[in-house]
Amino acid sequence: MRVLLDSRSAANPTGIGRYTRTLGSVLSGCLGKHEIIADHELLVFPSPTHEELELPAVLEREGVDAFHSPLFRLPSVLPPSVRAVITIHDAVPALWPELSTDVFARLWHDASEAAARADAVVCPTQAARADVIHALGLPHERVHVAPETPAAIFRPPTLPEQREARARCGLDDRPFVLVLGALERRKQPALALEALRARPHLPDIVFVGPAGAVDVAAEARRLGLSDRVRVLGAVPDAEVVGLLGTASALAFPTLAEGFGLPVVEAFATGTPVVASDLPAIREVAGDGAKLVPPGDAEALAAALLEVTSQPELAEALRERGRARLMSYSPDAVRGAFERLYDLLEEAP
């Protein structure tokens, strides 16, 4: 079977872009090359400048059997012989619309239409699969699970890399807790500020991620915490790795999630994790993270203080996090897609 992966969303700075880049790298070695996955040949539709109208001709010319879109949308026209696969990362826009951005609400409309046409839908966890089936009324046998994995750059950074990341981001030697992700309502970044106000002895808070609806700098000023908080915006992955490696902990106080990629990125860099106790996070993190009730600033503060003040607990979390990575390795991702492509090839 010849499978074409649509990589046009790889340039997107959000999590979907990161997912597409990492998936292309894991499945095809690097974006733009062909690779044999078991008995299947993977091709990559490489350029974001390609237009949708070109796709049918590309699929026909390349003899493609299946088209996979990581952006949970499909072209308006696909040849009848081409199987369609889409990834839907979560059902947040349908189940928690108040937490979704306008962009994702529009994309969810596309996802609903694409899921109705797709031969297979991929979700990153069993929890996300259950939500997507419920939200879209899809047949269970059409929805599959394939895990996500950290990009290859995520590994324990050296001390010089940690120092360089601090220097480039203008951070001094004070310990800090890292909050990683877009500053959106769903991610609830301001809860980390509430935790810091509740426990002033916590390390400083550093926010890394694209700007969104939550102005954490303004909230920090309102709470009198400006001198304890840094907002760095989006930074290159190499600096994210260095910051994770030197952080006392990762705080991930999200309210709704289909996977929680920052959790496994922290596992890969050896960073202790405190995260919301959600079905998807519980499934991914297992005992590798300290889980707290979502939306509970006091519980988040207590857990962060425990992790950052007890070296033995922090080290235990690091060890358990590394063990959890076995289920979210590149080999695990490749194996999941090999099985999916086998099923598509065998289907009548």
What letter represents residue 40's amino acid? H
Nearest residue to 265 via CA among 282, 283, 243, 286: 243
Residues 175-191 pLDDT 10s: 999 999 999 999 999 99
Cα 310 from Cα 312, distance rounded (Å): 6
Residue of 304, 328, 307, 325 lying closest to 316 (CA atoms): 307
94 φ/ψ angles, rounded to the nearest 5 degrees: -90, -40
Are residues 259 and 290 located together in one domain of the fold?
yes
* 180 and 235 co-located in one domain: yes
**Residue 221: inside a domain, yes or no?**
yes
The C-alpha atoms of residue 84 and residue 199 are separated, in whole angstroms, by 50
**Same domain for 92 and 177:** no
Same domain, 101 and 246: no
Question: Based on the domain organization, do 257 and 286 belong to the same domain?
Answer: yes
Where would I find the H helices in the chain? 15-28, 55-62, 92-95, 102-117, 126-136, 159-168, 190-198, 216-222, 237-246, 261-269, 279-285, 297-309, 311-324, 330-346
How far, in Å, CA of 35 to CA of 38, rounded? Answer: 9
Phi-psi region of 209 (alpha: psi -120 to 50; beta: other; left: phi over 0): left
Q: Is residue 214 part of a domain?
A: yes
Look at residue 180 and give its three-state secondary structure.
Answer: strand
The residues with which 250 forms a beta bridge, in sequence order, are 178, 273
Query: What's the confidence (pLDDT) of residue 269?
Result: 96
Q: Alpha-carbon distance 229 to 300, whole Å?
A: 17
What was the pLDDT predicted at 196?
Answer: 97
Length of the chain: 348
Domain that holds residue 284: 159-327
CATH number, domain at 169? 3.40.50.2000
Query: What span, in angstroms and rounded, lies between the C-alpha atoms of 2 and 208?
Result: 39
Total number of domains in the chain? 2
Q: Identify whether 154 is part of a domain.
A: no
Q: Which residues contact 25 (CB under 8 A, 6 or more apart)?
A: 31, 151, 152
CA distance 227 to 174: 12
Same domain, 235 and 283: yes
Rounded to whole angstroms, the Cα distance separating 312 from 317 reads 9
Regarding whether 135 and 45 lie in a shared domain, the answer is: yes
Residues 6+ apart with CB under 8 A from 192: 177, 179, 205, 207, 251, 253, 300
**pLDDT lower than 50: segments of the chain:** 30-33, 48-49
Q: Residues 25, 143: one domain?
A: yes
284, burial (CB in 10 Å: exposed 0-12, middle 13-18, buried 19+): buried
Question: What residue has token string 């894991």?
Answer: 26
pLDDT given at position 1: 83
Give the SS3 label for residue 178.
strand
Whether residues 223 and 300 share a domain: the answer is yes
Neighbour count for residue 142 (Cβ, 10 Å)? 12
Looking at the structure, do residues 242 and 340 belong to the same domain, yes or no? no
The pLDDT value given to residue 29: 57
**Separation of alpha carbons 193 and 217, rounded Å:** 10
Q: What is the DSSP letter of 203?
A: P
- How far is it, in rounded angstroms, from Cα 328 to Cα 265? 10
Clarify whether residues 176 and 127 are in a common domain.
no
Are 169 and 130 found together in one domain?
no
